[in-house]
Amino acid sequence: MAPLIRSSLLGKRERSAVRVQELLDLSGRVAIVTGGGTHLGKAMASTLGELGAAVFLASRRGELCEQAANELRAAGIDATGLKCDVTSEPDVQALVGRVVIERGRLDVMIANAGGSFTSTYIPRASIDEFRKTLELNLTGTYVCAQAAAEVMMPRRSGKIITLGSIHGFLAADKRFYKGLNFRRSGPPYQAAKGGVINLTRALAAELGEWNIQVNCISPGQIPRADTDPAMVEKARLNNPLEVVGRPEHLKGAVALLASPAGDWITGQNIVVDGGWSIW
C-alpha cells in the first residue's frame, strides 16, 4: 500500500491522506513548454503529458514543435505545437491567450527557450551577441513568467518553471574545452543564466501570495545528438557519477516542480548535473 502523508494542496484547502500517486497526477491540467520542439524542452513536455497534462509546445521554429507534438500524440499525449518568439511580448501573450481560450486555464509554464549566440570573446567580444543572449534567456523568461502569472493569479494557483544552468552559478573552465569541436558559451550565457536563477527567486517572492510556485531547474552538460563525441566523453568523466547527461534526467525534477508534489517548494534552484558542480 502506498504511504499516506498530510499535505496542504491547491491553496489553503486542507487535504488529508493524500497518496503519492495523486501528488504527481496532472490530469486535467494545461501546460506550456517554450523551446519545446527539441532536446530538453521535448523531454519536459513528454513528462507533463505522461502525467496527464495537455501540453502546448512553442518556439520560434514552429515546425519542430508540431513535429514533436505529433510524436507525443502518437504516444497518447494531448499535445499541440505552435510558433512563438519568447522575446516578443505580443507573441507570448497571444500564445497564453490561445491556450486559455482553447482549454480554459493554464496551470504550468516552463520557460525553457534559451541558448547562446557567443562566437567572440573578451577583449574582442561582440556586445550585440551579449544583448541577444540576455534577450533570449533572461528577457524571454521574464516575458513568459509575466504572461503566465496574469492568468494564474485570478485562479490563485500555478507553477512557473524556469531553466537555468550550472553556468548560472559557475564560470566555464576554458581548459575543459581545449582541443574539442565545441563552442563554449562564455560570459554572456553565464550572465543570462545567473540572472534567470535570481529572477526565479524574485518571482517566487512576488507571486507567493497568489499560491503560484516559481522554481528553476539548472541542468549540467546534456549533449545533443550531434555533439562532438570527444566532448561527450569528457563531460561524462567530469561528473562523479561518470554518466552522460540525457534529456530524460530532467524528468524527475519537472514532475516534482510541476505537480502538487511541489506545492511547498518555491524560489529554489534544483541542480541536475550528475554532481558536476560539487567539484
Closest CA to 134 of 88, 188, 84: 188
Q: Is 177 a catalytic residue?
A: no
The full 3-state SS of 96-155, as one line of letters, equals HHHHHHHHCCCCEEEECCCCCCCCCCCCCCCHHHHHHHHHHHHHHHHHHHHHHHHHHHHH
DSSP state of 264: T
Catalytic residue among 121, 142, 177, 189: 189
Q: Which residues contact 268 (CB under 8 A, 6 or more apart)?
A: 200, 215, 216
Instruction: Point out the residues that are catalytic.
Output: 189
